C-alpha cells in the first residue's frame, strides 16, 4: 500500500481521531477496561465459575473496536488478543510457561479454522474454563523441595522422550536411592508412576486440542506401543483415548 512507502505515519493520528468520532456518534461505548481486568483477575484466581460469569458480563457491556469489516475475521482477531491476555494471566498465577504457550498456540490455531462467529464464541468460553482450571490445578499442587521440583520440571520438559529413574535422579542432583525415597515421600507416588501420569495428562490435552491420532500420540509421548498407551490411559481415566475424545468433544459442542 502507498501509505507504507514513507517512514511518516502521521495518517494514524487522523485515523485515530476518525475512529474516536465514529464511536462517539454511535453512542455505544467500548467495552470498559475494568471489566477485562476483573475477568483476568478471576482467571488468576483459578475461579472457573467467576471467570465465565465475568466474561459474559464483559461481552454484554459495551462493544469491542472494529478491527475488520468481515465479522468472522473480526472475531478471530479479537480471539487472538483475548488468548494472549488470559495466557499471561495464567502464567502470572504460576501455570508453567510451556503448558500456557501450548494452550495458547492451540486455541489460536483452532480459531483460525473456525467458519462462523458462533464457533469462536464457544471456543472463547472453553478457553476461559481451561486456563482457569490450569491455574486452579497449579494452586492446589503441594509445595515440593528444590530437588523434587527440579525433577518435576525435567519431566514436564521431556515428556516426548523416554525418561528413566537415572535421568530424574541426575536432574535432582541426588543419588537414585535418595531421590526415589524423597520423591515418593513428597508426592505420594513413585517417580516412574508420576512420569506415566504426566504423560497421560498430556495425552488428554493432545486429544482435546489437536488432531493427532491415538497411534501418533502414543509415539510422540514415547510409549512402548499403542496398546500400552491405551491400557495406561484406561487405567488412569476409566475409558479409552478414542472414547475420551468423542465424549469430551461432544460435551463442549452442546
Tens digit of each residue's pLDDT (9 = 90 or more) over 178-212: 999 999 999 999 999 999 999 998 898 888 877 88
pTM: 0.56
pLDDT band at residue 12, thresholds of 50, 70 and 90?
A: low
CA angle 212, 199, 182 (to 5 degrees): 170
CA distance 42 to 48: 7
Please report the pLDDT score of residue 116 as a whole number. 93
Q: How many CB atoms lie within 10 A of CB 211?
A: 10
Question: What integer is the mean pLDDT of 204-230?
Answer: 90
The more confident residue out of 182 and 251 is 182
Residue 63, φ and ψ in degrees, nearest 5:
-145, 140
Identify whether the C-beta of residue 228 lies closer than 8 Å to the C-beta of residue 240. Answer: no
Alpha carbon distance 109, 248 (integer Å): 19
For residue 187, give the C-alpha cell. 508426592
pLDDT > 80? residue 3: no
Tell me which of 21-30, 34-43, 89-98 is least confident: 21-30
Percent share of the chain, pLDDT over 90: 56
Cα separation of 110 and 6, whole Å?
Answer: 36
Distance in angstroms (rounded) separating the CA atoms of residues 160 and 220? 6
Cα–Cα dist 131/87, whole Å: 7
Q: Which domains does the chain have, with CATH numbers?
A: 22-140 (no CATH), 146-252 (1.10.10.60)
SS3 (DSSP) at 179: helix
Which pLDDT value is given to residue 30?
Answer: 61
Q: CA 13 to CA 71: how far, in whole Å?
A: 25
CA distances from 240 to 2, 243, 245, 252 (A): 57, 5, 9, 18
Amino acid at each position: 500500500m502507498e501509505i507504507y512507502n514513507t517512514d511518516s505515519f502521521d495518517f494514524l493520528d487522523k485515523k485515530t481521531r476518525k475512529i474516536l468520532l465514529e464511536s462517539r456518534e454511535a453512542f455505544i461505548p467500548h467495552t470498559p477496561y475494568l471489566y477485562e481486568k476483573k475477568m483476568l483477575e478471576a482467571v488468576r484466581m483459578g475461579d472457573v465459575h467467576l471467570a465465565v460469569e465475568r466474561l459474559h458480563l464483559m461481552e454484554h457491556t459495551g462493544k469491542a473496536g472494529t478491527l475488520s469489516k468481515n465479522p468472522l475475521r473480526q472475531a478471530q482477531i479479537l480471539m487472538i488478543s483475548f488468548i494472549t491476555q488470559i495466557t499471561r494471566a495464567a502464567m502470572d498465577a504460576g501455570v508453567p510457561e510451556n503448558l500456557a504457550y501450548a494452550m495458547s498456540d492451540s486455541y489460536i490455531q483452532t480459531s483460525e479454522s473456525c467458519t462462523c462467529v458462533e464457533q469462536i464464541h464457544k471456543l472463547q468460553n472453553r478457553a476461559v474454563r481451561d486456563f482457569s482450571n490450569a491455574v486452579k490445578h497449579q494452586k492446589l499442587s503441594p509445595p515440593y523441595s528444590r530437588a523434587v521440583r527440579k525433577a518435576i520440571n525435567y519431566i514436564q520438559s521431556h515428556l516426548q522422550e523416554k525418561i528413566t529413574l537415572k535421568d530424574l535422579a541426575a536432574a535432582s542432583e541426588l543419588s537414585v536411592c535418595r531421590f526415589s525415597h524423597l520423591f515418593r515421600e513428597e508426592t505420594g507416588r513413585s517417580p516412574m508412576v508420576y512420569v506415566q501420569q504426566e504423560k497421560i495428562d498430556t495425552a488428554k490435552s493432545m486429544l482435546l486440542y489437536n488432531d493427532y491420532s491415538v497411534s501418533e500420540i502414543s509415539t510422540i509421548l514415547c510409549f512402548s506401543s499403542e496398546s500400552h498407551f491405551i491400557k495406561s490411559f484406561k487405567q488412569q481415566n476409566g475409558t479409552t483415548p478414542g472414547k475420551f475424545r468423542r465424549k469430551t468433544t461432544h460435551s463442549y459442542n452442546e
